[in-house]
Amino acid sequence: MRDMKDKNSKNKILFSETDIKDIVCRVADEISQDCKSMGINSLNVICVLKGAFVFAADLVRQLEIPNINIEFISASSYGSSDVSSGNVKLGCIDNLSIFGENILIVEDIIDTGNTLKKLTEQIKSFEPNTVRVCAMFDKPDRRSVDFDADYVGSVIPDEFIVGYGLDYAEMYRDLPYVTVLK
């Protein structure tokens, strides 16, 4: 297997580390400005494991919001396949205490939309004050359910990408850039 961290790797890089930093800063600014205009001083960030762990870590450090709490939940529907099973498994969600809170759900990617549709429905059942969704990448061509995020880092074509938290069979999450899996 090719070492994708090899600088001489011929894999097509879709987003370099610099591209990613620029996107994260832009999205963080949009969220911060919206919170300011809505008078929101406290934000409860829900990071959806595993894929969003890198994006969420970068994003929260760029947000200009006085009080930020971070929660982690797990969601999985792909297993070791590159096609969604459609059967979304959510973990740790019952431990959330978010009644009346301002929620920002942070995801790495929206594909079919199944994960975020199910997750936001469940989050809303806890009766938070506001719920907004931020995704680093969005693949609208693959959508099978009606779902749009409030904040999107970049719309991407229908290619299987890895890196920056995104995996194939648990590999490549550690790549600092985003590349197309051959």
Residues lying near ligand PRP in the complex (CB under 6 A) are found at 48, 50-51, 75-78, 84, 107-115, 167
Catalytic choice (58, 111, 138, 167)? 111
Between 114 and 179, name the residue whose CB sits nearer to ligand PRP: 114
Q: Tell me the helix, strand and coil percentages in the chain, rounded to 5.
A: 25, 30, 45
Helices (H), 2-136: 17-38, 53-60, 114-124
Between 65 and 111, name the residue whose CB sits nearer to ligand PRP: 111
Q: Cβ 6 to ligand PRP, closest distance in Å?
A: 23
Query: Cα–chain-centroid distance for residue 82?
Result: 17
Describe the crossing of helices 53-60 and 17-38 by its angle, rounded to 10 degrees: 60
Q: Cβ 87 to ligand PRP, closest distance in Å?
A: 10
Asked about 141 being catalytic, the answer comes back as no
Q: Cβ 81 to ligand PRP, closest distance in Å?
A: 9
Selection from 30, 26, 13 nearest residue 164 by Cα: 13
Between 32 and 168, name the residue whose CB sits nearer to ligand PRP: 168
Say how far apart CA 181 and CA 162 lie, in whole Å.
6
* Active site positions, annotated: 111
